[in-house]
Structure 1
Amino acid sequence: MPGAVEQRLLDQGVTYALGLRIVVIGLSSSVSLALAAMPDRAVAAVMVTAFNVWSLLYALVMVRGGARARQWLPVADVAAVCGICLSMSWTVTPDPRGGATWVLIALNMVVVTYPWQIGGRALAVATAVIITVYYAGATLADPGGWLADPTLGPWTAAEAALSFGLYRFVRRSARTSDRIIARTAGLRRAAEIAAARRSGEREYLAALHDTAAATLLMVGEGVVARPEPWLSAQARRDLAELHRSSGAHGEADLIPLLRETVRHTALRVRWSVPAAVTLPAADAVSLSRGVREALTNVARHAGTDTAEIRIRDDGALVTAEIVDTGRGFDPARIDADRYGLTRSLIERMTRTGGRARIDSRPGHGTTVTLTCPRPAEDDRGDREVITASFQRGLRWAAISITLAVLTLLDLPRLLAAGAAYTALWPQLLAWSGLVAVTLVVAVATWRDRPPGRWRWALVALVFALSALATATVRPEFRLGAAHWSEGDAGWPIVLLLMGGRVGVLIAVLAAQYLMTFGQAALAGEAALSVAGAISATWAVLSYQLAIAMIAAVLRGMAGSTARAVRAAERVRTSEAVARHLHADRTGRIAALAATAVPLLAGLASAELDPGDPDVRRACAAEAARMRRLIASDDAHPDALAHELRAAVEQAERDGVAVTFAAHGTRPDLPPGVRRRLAAPAIAALATATGRARLTVTSTGDTVTVSVVAACAPPPPAADGDGVRRSVLADGDRLWIQASWQGER
């Protein structure tokens, strides 16, 4: 089954192929009806109108109709094309100076767009039938004359084959994108699951510190001498918190969580908050617990019974401020290893990618500021993969078409028409130069290094070669069959400019054609009439513009496809994270079921007396065990290495032997920097085969991620956020490196 990118290409390809057909056939037939001589203009008008209406209806049904309609409709379309071929006795006047007829342009455009609608075998049969019927109609209209030129059939078949090759190139590129994105998504999903599980574990430990461990320690130290209602209520809340912690997923409203937190504090709280603030559930829970910890510190240490909670939401960042006017303190004099300040508050926010700041002075109160960023949607990596694959496939297809046109069509015409030129060597020089430009683009594409700024020098060379070829064609042969460079010099221009703006490409192509027409006009004579020149030019130009249009469509489609792919991936990742977090939470509750849960349940129901020495000893022992568990988790999170380890695990499951080494201590990297550092390595491991080596090195304020593997080149990406990338090739292996240096 086609992947998301390939299916999107197939759906969009049919739409744009049929749109191109309607435009080209509509314009060429209308121009011919207005300017060209016709045996019976009334019949010709009926046939032109009928066929254009048919093309429009055909396109609508092919795009919007059902599968059964799309199966038989191409048969009817072939019959319609055969009908206009057999009507040439009334619609086409045989005239060698008339150039390509509207019927010939129509059938060429039909077979060129068929690959997006029917399979290869059906294309071959349809093309053979159409060519055969065309020759029958041409023989009836012009027995033995120009319309039945024996070269027209083979060239029409060649156009169909070239178009089918273009279609296959682009579709293969889409399939490659699907494979790379699927593997990268798998690595990314594994990394997100691992990060979520790690975050859940740390949040669970923080919850233990804030709830069960504190309650059991209080009972174990004899603070409570007998059953109390408030103790039972607190034990019930602790049980609920343990069942809930680390299981938050999806989205949640922060404000109700904060109000629930405040409901269980003795402080009088003033509110300055919006009606609702929606966050990922894990972030909302983490932020609410940070607020709770700050309020607890106010109640314990500030010497005041009032506080204020302020919430700001600017779209990208949610900020919570807890303000009191109590006695204040000097933050510099607080031990950095105290869990309550550093790990339960500051690290809690760091785990979510946020920040915690404490501003206080003795006698001037305290302000705790907690910030939590909203996760930014970033589909640039997928978009770059899709764009690079599409452009590479389309470029190879255009290279093949250009070489086929120059070698299989133009070279035989050039050699057979020696009498049409004032000198043969300029024609051979121009032809050789255009082939050389095409080969330069081919080499650049193979090396995945577009010509860049040199493309304009090559465009200027193409103009010079085109002018040279036109200048040495005898005036009476210009714009005719012997004038091979008239339109075909545009193919190298398409190759050089197809990756840029469509408007620029159209302008440069138009300039090349106008230059050629200007040279012919100055000579005062040509092989074709005005209508013939327009028809002949449009027959070639429409094909070249089709390539430019496809390039633009593919670039635009890359963005929408990447967004759709990432949305589907988010759903799958969300489901996978939810399953793993549920399993982790179930396992943690099972681990506590034999010890902590019975104690808390007994305290909640007042069945256990906190004044009983045995109950105190059991609570003290369990509190000590919990605190040892909390204290053992003293490693600071390293999100970069964690993501890379997940990518390594996925690559190894795919059969790649990966050597992974991490050196030095990494600073706290912003999310954007982490993404840019990890993305090339993750993409490389997604396509790697055999053996790979992954290294993370940290020296001072510099972090470097490098991977050596036999893999596909990483998608092109601009440097940014202080990260610089480089790629070196050694045979079939690549050395891909991303380095970041912080501000000194």
Structure 2
Amino acid sequence: MPQCRGRAAAGACRIRQGRRPRGPAHQAHPGGGPPLNVEVSGAVPVPVEVAEAALGAAAEAVRNAVRHAEARALKVRLRGDEHGFVLSVADDGVGFSPAGVQVSSVGLRRSVLRRMADVAGTAEVHSSPGDGTTVRLVWQRDRARAVRTGEFGGAVAETPDRMASIRAAVGDVRRPLAAVCVPYLLATGVVAAIHTVRSPQVSWLMVWYVLLSAVTVALLLRARTAIGGRAAAAASAFAVGGAVCSFIVIPTSGIADDTSWPIGAVTPLLTVLVIVRPPWEALLALVLEQAGVVLVLLAGPPFADSWGESVAKAVPALFAPALGVGMGLAIGQTVARLGAAVMRANAERAASAAVESARQAREAMHRRRLADLDEEILSFLRRTASGALSPQAPQTRVRARMLDQAVRDELHLPGVLGRSTRELLGAARAEGCVVTIQSDADHPPPPDLLRCLLASALGTGPTPQDLILSVEPRPSALLVSLVTLPGDPARAAALREALTGTSAVVEDGTESTWVEVSTYAAGVVAPPIAVPIDGDSAIGDPAAG
């Protein structure tokens, strides 16, 4: 479990390495199940509701693996920084088809996917029968902030990773690649075997082709995850070098028939690379092969009566690998664009689900706080009716006014002012401060920002005579203003310190201290002061943190 603590009026939590042996990883056995390998790098500061959602989703993924995957090993990896994190849970079990998961599957859809959607994160499930399952949980601070403020464009319009786009469109890319490449490898192998039998002096080409086929299959098996740049470069060099050097033993006249089979033998490998690696790498390898073959042909004896006839004989052999790579490039680009569209649609759905979840959380919090106020009011009325409190007593009148103001505050800012904030306002009113709260916005401002402003304004220096808090909508933000009368330099200094790092404007004079901050422009990050956190803060409220 993470160690969570309040950080400057925000429910901030650090997913720490926790109680574990020193080093990058440790192993455990969850509930007597398969060994669990955990890798954590550093500390990841996130809002408390994000930590709870991620840990709950990861725990559900581990439980599913233990119960259903028949896994021999589990691996949990956390990587992140101040911008966000990626938490993955992988097993080597039987796997399944994500498309076949029933809508009613609570474990996968509600406990994993919906938990992350509720905090503006994403959850990806990669699995196929026999290949295990990987659940990938991603949360980015900028995207969460965009969802919270309603500015979805920057969050969902990012260009997705190419391989992630392909996986979103076709799932396991190895299957369609194998359907194309394996038959080609087998057919070329038959041609290579026939020529090896006819011409034993070129048997080394058969050895080269066997190794080339093994390299192609190895890259094909790695296509689901990632193929490193060095591995791709080495494989391309081996393939291109062998194809060009084949004309050391093959006569140049062989370019006109299937004796030139090594030229086309590189096609499956380049097709794999042009789809799973940056396309320019495979295209560069193709150009080098074509150029090398052309130079060898030009340097060798003529194999036709005229230049035009030589070109006519060489073009078909050179065209074969170019056609395969070109088709692979076109298919890969099309599939990547389709996958990108799928990912953007999923991101938009997740953003909408997060906004709806936040709205429901605010409404639930509003109902709970009204219920708390109802209980306080009913208790006050019961004590007054029973004679425990005298209706004429000054304390009773003050208490009645306080309860009336608390209800009015809740109606102005529904679901925002928690118990500690209400007590802070009540104490100021009890000392004679006239508190006025105004809001014309349809959506409430971040609770942490208001707690920070009120705590700084009322917790420094003498209690002001007047305090006016207003919230006004702007095209892409909320403008929060706070004015206290009279002015106080110490109060202004405390507000400036609390809002360090934001675009807040703080001005002070003899008559008033004035603060204005835009929740969007300021980023609404947790201000660096110690302010008590309400115990009834809403979990899943996108404004928290």
TM-score class, shorter-chain normalisation, is 0.3 to 0.5
Structure with the larger helix share: 1
